[in-house]
Structure 1
């Protein structure tokens, strides 16, 4: 079994409150979960209104499938005009790794 994850550091555009931030992030997180077999959530910078950390995780039987999904997720997030993708950190782990 392979486990893959992405951690996105996002800068939000014209957002002036935490309520607006949640309104901007909610559609992104929903779309990720709807379009891909992943779990997604806001994971960092929860008290800042213009920054967001979003985490995505996927589990699959083979490494190539996990990499393909993570690549597609990263492309989708990078293409969203309402966010500036500051960084994307990726991890990949096999269940038998120590």
Structure 2
């Protein structure tokens, strides 16, 4: 079994409240879930209005499938015009590592 994860450090656009932040990141997280069938959550910077860290995790029997899913998720976040993707971190591990 292969386990992959990716974290997106994201700068939000014109957001002035946590409610506004949720309005921006919820559709992004929903699209990530729908298009990748992976687990997605806000995993950092919850108390800041204009920053967030979104994490995505995926499990597969093949490492190529995991890498493809992580790449697709990264393109999806990078292509969103309402946010700026500042950085990503990712990992890929076998279950017996």
Q: What is aligned with 1:49?
A: 49
Classify the secondary structure of the residue corresponding to 1:47: coil
> How far 1:13 moved relative to its partner?
0.4
The 2-side partners of 1:67 and 1:7 are apart by 14
The 2-side partners of 1:37 and 1:58 are apart by 8
Q: What is aligned with 1:8?
A: 8
TM-score (norm 1): 0.97
Runs of 4+ in structure 1 deviating by more than 6 angstroms, as ranges, are none
Instruction: Provide, for residues 47-70 of structure 1, a one-character-per-residue CA deviation record: whole Å limited to 9, x for no partner.
Output: 000000000000000100100110
Tell me the number of residue pairs that the alignment of Structure 1 and Structure 2 aligns.
97
The 1-side partners of 2:29 and 2:3 are apart by 19
Classify the secondary structure of the residue corresponding to 1:31: helix
TM-score (norm 2): 0.98
Classify the secondary structure of the residue corresponding to 2:37: coil
The 1-side partners of 2:87 and 2:35 are apart by 22
Classify the secondary structure of the residue corresponding to 2:49: coil
Classify the secondary structure of the residue corresponding to 1:22: helix
How large is the Cα RMSD of the aligned pairs?
Answer: 0.5
The 1-side partners of 2:18 and 2:3 are apart by 31
